[in-house]
Structure 1
Amino acid sequence: YINNPGTKLSELIGSVIESIGQEQFKKYLWNQVLETIKNTTKYKERLLEFIQVSQIQMFPKKDPFSTENEANHKLFLDAFINQINDKSKRKEFNIVLKQTALEIIAEKNDGDSVIADYFYNIISEDFGISKTWETVITGSGKYLDNKIVKLLNAIINIIREQGFERFYLLVDEFEDITSGRLTKKEIDNYSHNLRALIDKERRWCLLLAMTSEALQDLKKVSPPLVDRLTDREIKIERLSNTQANLIVKNYLSLSRETETDSINPFTEEAINFINSESGELPRILLRKIHYLIERAVDELNEGDSITKAFAEKHLSKD
């Protein structure tokens, strides 16, 4: 779930990774890299050279590829670093491991060095390179905007390797794209790249949420994009007062000890007013209902009702 489409598509992809979780996605990347190293002789031997050179050690040499070091990448890295006594050798090891990681990630993505560099930036902290998470997820890498389709496919490949089968991407507040926050050039670039993303082979479900007005504005900007977006269209109608009362009753019932059709402590007039103040939108209605219940707990006596007057008083401050 992405609650902000960003100002360019690469930011949206960064938000996908952020939604998965920085540490979680880093773990997925390391799993991919370490599994390849373990099963590829040239990579394995390249790293083992650093602990096979003769050096005075107090303890017997340990195998970094033993099962006890498979739990996470930090155990694996420590198993090497702790056996390399020379500071310059440790630095050299980090360089070789970085080159190996970049090589593996690139191989997994048709030799694409841009994608490899993007993913490397996510795990770079483990190589002693400090990059803020914001820098990574903003998608500011050079040439990245031309690689959006490949990048999203690469992310999905990594996730699928962890055992996940389906990938759903819900982007909310898409009306931000046409609300005036972006320049005409930025909107054109965004819509062009999004159209390319939809046209190319994809193995995910993409759902964009926006207002009807935003959809009409988008039609003026990019009719071909709207044609693709509205191939399947879900229209969420505004709530009638009857529906609003039913929703409130159902949500209140979830917390009641006995089943009832009552909307108490709300009056019907209050719910109708709150629905109107919410623009007849379900999520805003429920947010305001919750807010008024909190106020009622603090201010009303037991048995009192949440009336239209009470709602008017507090929603004017909301």
Structure 2
Amino acid sequence: MNEILLAEPRGFCAGVDRAIEIVERALAKFGRPIYVRHEIVHNTYVVNDLKTKGAIFIEELDEVPPGATLVFSAHGVSRAVQEEAARRGFQIFDATCPLVTKVHVEVAKLHREGYEFIMIGHKGHPEVEGTMGQLDSGIHLVEDEADVLRVQPAQTDLLAVVTQTTLSVDDAAGILAAVKARFPKVREPKQQDICYATQNRQDAVKLLSPQVDIVIVVGSPTSSNSNRLREVALKLGTPAYMVDNAGELQPEWFEGKLRVGLTAGASAPDILVQQVIERLRDLGAIAVRRMDGLTETVKFPLPKGLKIEGAAAPAHLR
């Protein structure tokens, strides 16, 4: 192994940065514990780090004591969860990624105009549950092109399509084409729902893969966008593996491989990438080179009520 080629961009996106900072600021301002519904982002290291700082991750609101501070995860929650949390009187900070919130707002707006929806996404993913939970009915989930043939909307004149933000751009395009073929009047989003960071990281892997003998993706198994990065590389014919941390690297993967491509999902902190690089150096890598790529400048504002008077913002996870 001669060289590690780093994809650009990789790692944290603006929505993940914001979500983690919301939890850290809440801990700094209100003290421990801070309750978080679902993993704040899908990364084992991030979740464990926040646990040590005083975050408690829960799935059901009855696990949260009265009067506690509650943070909704970056994936968003259903309307029922929002209403129940408000009813229970928690102090709530919403860390839903603004790009997911945009989808929720679009669904609510078009629903008022009489639309039904086809949602392209993965069943059981918290983002999908949150988006579908914006309405009591009228959203039909499709995971692949075969599902499109099984959808039976009540009417087809007012039908709109939305997508999970962390899908494979290419897979979503194929499913969308099937939706449009079956429902020619379907309304598409003005801008595609797949987030800029997901798209940018997939585009970077498409550039990276043909230049390397193997691709390593740093990301947790539950991370949708990290899984998609591995799939993008595999579809281009490059062997690819996803690891939660450097300890999962297997030396036999790199036998006979001269150049290793390295990227990270949008919820994976850079410290994990650096640890993987060090492990690859131990396995024989000599040089590290960054690809040319986009520099992301997107930054999302924090919710009101988290300013820390007379104190700097918490040191951010990196």
When normalised by structure 1's length, the TM-score is: 0.28
When normalised by structure 2's length, the TM-score is: 0.28
Which has the greater radius of gyration?
A: 1
Which structure: greater helix fraction? 1
Which structure: greater strand fraction? 2
